[in-house]
Amino acid sequence: MRAVEEDGPWPLVFPLGGNSIPVGGEVCERVWSGGMTPQLCLVHRRLPARALWEKLLEAQYTSSEPAVLFIDRINSANNVSSGIEPIDAFKTKRCVRGADGQEVTFDVEDAAWHQYRALHGASAALPAHFVQSTDVCAEDQLHMMAVVQSCVDNAISKSLVLPESASAQDIGLVLLQAWELGLKGISVFRKGPGIASPF
């Protein structure tokens, strides 16, 4: 966003992935595809950031397709729900990259869960409305999204988190049901060790 505010040049990049740098090629380091470690990337070309941003917003509005996906490390580190999906977990660990480029792991807790425990004790049973992403079945999440989608003229993007045991067939059925409900933007993650696996 700094480049957009300053109307600076924005490099269009792709990771080298172990390939050699082309003669005269420009490179830079970027965190890529949800990773935590910067990778060496080849700069394809540079575009004016503000003009690129405006084109992306226009494309998103006219096509109802999300043009930009923010991978927000701050919200992820704080275990914040975006409002249309349940929190990831009441208590978990988050790994973020510090200013020095090194990975730092934090213990994070959902604020409402933490406050409930503080008020009622750690052993108190949680009310039924305290749920985590894997507590709500995919079908219910899709139906909830379909209700909200019917009230807006643009796309809603939502991530469904499936248990680690979910098969490729399970994921295919979820995506088919999303399509049948007329949903425009969905991603599916399967829980597992470390970072969830996107599909």
pLDDT tens-digit series, residues 150-164: 777 677 777 787 888
The yes-or-no verdict on residue 66 having pLDDT over 60 is: no
Instruction: Label residue 134 by pLDDT band (50, 70, 90).
Output: confident
Same structural domain, 86 and 27? no
Same structural domain, 22 and 59? yes
Same structural domain, 143 and 128? no
Number of domains in the chain: 3
Tell me, what's the pLDDT at 108?
79
Across-strand partners of 104?
Answer: 96
Same structural domain, 123 and 97? yes
pLDDT tens readout for residues 84-123:
667 778 888 777 766 677 787 878 788 788 888 999 999 9
Q: Residue range 5-11: average pLDDT?
A: 88
Tell me, what's the pLDDT at 119?
93
Indicate the pTM of the whole model.
0.50
Same structural domain, 39 and 17? yes
State which residues form the domain around 16: 2-63
Same structural domain, 141 and 126? no
137 vs 66: which has the higher pLDDT:
137
Instruction: Label residue 60 by pLDDT band (50, 70, 90).
Output: low
Tell me, what's the pLDDT at 159?
79
Same structural domain, 33 and 75? no
pLDDT tens readout for residues 16-34:
777 777 777 888 888 765 5
Judge whether 115 and 121 are in contact, CB under 8 Å. Answer: no
